Amino acid sequence: MRYAKMVMSESIPILEAKNLKVNRGGAILINVPSLLIQKGEILSLIGPNGAGKTTLLQSLSHLLKPFEGEIFFKGERVNSNHSAFEYRRKLAMVFQEPFLFDTTVFENVASGLKIRGIRRHSIQKIVAEQLGRFGISHLSNRSAKTLSGGEAQRTSLARAFAIGPDVLLLDEPFANLDPPSRESLIEDLERILKKTQTTTIFATHDRLEALRLSDRMAVMNQGKIVQIGSPEEVMNHPVNEFVASFVGVETILPGKVIRKNGGTFVASISDQEIEAVGDARLGETVILCIRPEHVTLSIPPSKEKTSARNVFPAKIEKIISLGLYQKVQLDCGFPIVAYVTNHSLEELSLKEGKEVKASFKATAIHVVRRKEK
């Protein structure tokens, strides 16, 4: 919704990349035909290691050369050395490691400003504001070498924000932090990004982080953007198995369509029949994606009538605790994964080896149709 509004309000995207390609030693690191970024949006790049997230970030910021393709900033092409330098001055990048300089926190946060030759008087004000924003004012005179991981990363972020960048690029900025520092910093960053409306592109391998912070998510694999859209779109309507498994769809089943009933069809998997909403041809092989949150477990015999079209006897193979809830791996003839609250686990006395019933609605299944080559 927010992204759609952004597109409508601004005519030119703040950043546009066309046919961006990077080759290293014969291997294609990234191949992005088109990427448009709207002013004020937060775009996350998610994907496994080696997907090309860092390479894409570095090419977009003109830090990595050589690359093929073009970058347009506010509609103008970035090409010669000079315009590339001017463009770089409108950006700021924060890495996984803080890369602070061997001086005080204050001087670190001021470094971007000093590089631009800003007067000492103005530097004081700007730095003080950023230190306050990130909650590190009390560390102003401390040597950067003595900071904890969280404090150092806050300093690095404050240093980036002090420049007042038009685009902020973050390369897995929270990856090195321990959970409490991560949580606290993500919260603060969320608040600050909302307030400053800074256009942000950030790379992460943590889909929950991306889900939380971004307006749009781009899933990358082997150098290409495989799917881009709002988090809801990407998470609930993954365009292929790779995206599905990456965004956390735990159950991915290939099945053959054997019957069609108007708006639904039945697919056969391991001698079982699953009914799903959607369109498919008879005999076609489809991929059924079922999120674990959509699978319900019950203890037989259960006489309740349910609207779920798919109910199967299942045996619990494994239960893994995920803290606030449990991941239950079952075998219904085909493998399926359900998330169950700790409470339910106890109430139903679920344990490994137990026979239960697994059910899920036809509407909860996301169908991926294989493209014919």
Partner 1 sequence: MSNIFGVKKMDLILEGIKKAFWLLITFDPEVMKITFLSLEVSGSATLVSLMIGISTGVVVALSEFPGKRIAVSLINTGMGLPPVVVGLFVTIFLWRNGPLGFLGVLYTPTAMILAQAVIATPIVMGITLAAIQQLPKKLQLQILSLGATRLQMVWILIKEAKLPLLAAVMAGFGGVISEVGASIMVGGNIKGYSRVLTTATVMETSRGNFDIAIALGIILLLLAYFINLILTQIQQRERPR
Name which of 167 and 368 has its Cβ closer to partner 1.
Answer: 167
Binding region for partner 1 (CB under 8 A) out of 141-149, 220-228, 297-305, 341-349: 141-149
Contact call for residue 85 and partner 1 (CB under 8 A): yes
> Would you say 143 and 103 are in contact if contact means Cβ atoms under 8 Å apart?
yes
Assign 99 to helix, strand or coil.
coil
Instruction: Report residue 316: phi and psi, to 5°.
Output: -75, 120
Instruction: Report residue 314: phi and psi, to 5°.
Output: -145, 155
Binding region for partner 1 (CB under 8 A) out of 5-13, 28-36, 95-103, 305-313: 95-103
**What letter would DSSP give residue 372?**
P
- Percentages (nearest 5) of helix, strand, coil residues in the chain: 30, 35, 35
- Integer CA distances (angstroms), 236 to 68, 144, 239, 294, 359, in order: 34, 43, 9, 11, 18
| Number of residues engaging partner 1 in binding (CB under 8 A) | 25
Q: Least separation, in Å, of the C-beta of 141 and partner 1?
A: 13
Contact call for residue 58 and partner 1 (CB under 8 A): yes
Q: Which residues contact 57 (CB under 8 A, 6 or more apart)?
A: 45, 93, 169, 171, 201, 203
Contact call for residue 109 and partner 1 (CB under 8 A): no
**What letter would DSSP give residue 104?**
B
Binding region for partner 1 (CB under 8 A) out of 72-80, 86-94, 310-318, 365-373: 86-94
Beta bridge partners of 203: 45, 171
Contact call for residue 80 and partner 1 (CB under 8 A): no
Contact call for residue 112 and partner 1 (CB under 8 A): yes
Contact call for residue 309 and partner 1 (CB under 8 A): no
Q: List the one residue from 145, 259, 318, 370 that touches partner 1 (CB under 8 A).
A: 145
Contact call for residue 205 and partner 1 (CB under 8 A): no
Nearest alpha carbon to residue 63 among 34, 35, 87? 87
Q: List the one residue from 15, 45, 169, 356 that touches partner 1 (CB under 8 A).
A: 169
Binding region for partner 1 (CB under 8 A) out of 140-148, 173-181, 311-319, 345-353: 140-148
Q: Which residues contact 373 (CB under 8 A, 6 or more apart)?
A: none
Angle at 46 between CA 42 and CA 49, to 5 degrees: 145
Name which of 59 and 326 has its Cβ closer to partner 1.
Answer: 59
Q: Least separation, in Å, of the C-beta of 81 and partner 1?
A: 10
Q: List the one residue from 38, 44, 55, 61 that touches partner 1 (CB under 8 A).
A: 61
Q: Pull the structure tokens for residue 172.
A: 């897995």
Q: Pull the structure tokens for residue 107.
A: 């001087």
> Would you say 326 and 345 are in contact if contact means Cβ atoms under 8 Å apart?
yes
Q: Least separation, in Å, of the C-beta of 125 and partner 1?
A: 19
Contact call for residue 88 and partner 1 (CB under 8 A): yes
> Would you say 277 and 358 are in contact if contact means Cβ atoms under 8 Å apart?
no
Q: Least separation, in Å, of the C-beta of 112 and partner 1?
A: 4
Quote the CA–CA distance of 285 and 42 in Å, as a whole number: 36
Q: Which residues contact 343 (CB under 8 A, 6 or more apart)?
A: none
Q: Least separation, in Å, of the C-beta of 85 and partner 1?
A: 7
Q: Least separation, in Å, of the C-beta of 370 and partner 1?
A: 40
Contact call for residue 166 and partner 1 (CB under 8 A): no
Name which of 159 and 207 has its Cβ closer to partner 1.
Answer: 159
Contact call for residue 52 and partner 1 (CB under 8 A): no
Q: Least separation, in Å, of the C-beta of 331 and partner 1?
A: 46
Return residues touching partner 1 (CB under 8 A): 58, 61, 63, 85, 88-89, 91-93, 95, 97, 99, 101-102, 111-112, 115-116, 143, 145-146, 159-160, 163, 169
